[in-house]
Amino acid sequence: MSWSKLKKNLESFLSPALTGRVEYRASSYRYLPDKAGNCYIAVDKKNVLNMNDTSTSIKWYQTELEIKNDSNIQIPISNEEIEAIRKETKGMVPEDRLEVIARGRKSSVCAKELLSAQSTLSKSNFVVVANKFLSTPIEESIESDDILLNILALMDRRVGKKRILNMTEQVKSKHPAVQYFYELRLSAL
């Protein structure tokens, strides 16, 4: 599919409140076999998400420790996870430490997933992911681990106000790029 047709399809799915504010841009309209075009998402005429540039206004993580220390990422711990650690340690660990251990383990898993998703995004081809987004159900894009699919789904008009409001907890453990576009969509409700 040509870039102009793809752009038109993507923008036709934008939430009415974001139409005119969010644009999909490409610095090259030609696809070269050895080099993918440089595509990015602009909000209010400013380049916000450029897949090949880490100097955007959105925070990009370099290490797992940065993710663990980021106070914006809140990782919820369930009673089942605490109970699993209690059984694993045979009750030898004080109650107040159980939650700390569970949060530490879960934050390590979350950090590895975020770094993996971030590295995949920087290597991905925007056109390929956009075509996948257009051909899959919106639920799959929302629940995907792919940052770009999450972003495209958050700006989609098929995702209503109630669903956006119910996603607050789910988005807290996502990449800052997904959080940025979630806040953008939330502000446009």
Q: Say what percent of the chain tops pLDDT 70.
A: 83
In the chain, the number of structural domains is 2
pLDDT band at 28 (very low <50, low <70, confident <90, very high): low
Mean pLDDT across the chain: 80
Residues 181 and 137 both lie in one domain: yes
- What's the pLDDT tens digit per position in 109-162? 877 777 777 666 655 577 788 888 999 999 998 888 888 889 999 999 988 889
Residues 50 and 17 both lie in one domain: yes
pLDDT band at 182 (very low <50, low <70, confident <90, very high): very high
- Vertex 159 angle, CA 155 and 164, to 5°: 85
pLDDT band at 29 (very low <50, low <70, confident <90, very high): very low
pLDDT band at 169 (very low <50, low <70, confident <90, very high): confident
Residues 139 and 172 both lie in one domain: yes
Q: Which domain holds residue 71?
A: 64-115
pTM to 2 decimal places: 0.67
Looking at residue 137, its pLDDT comes to 92
Residues 45 and 73 both lie in one domain: no
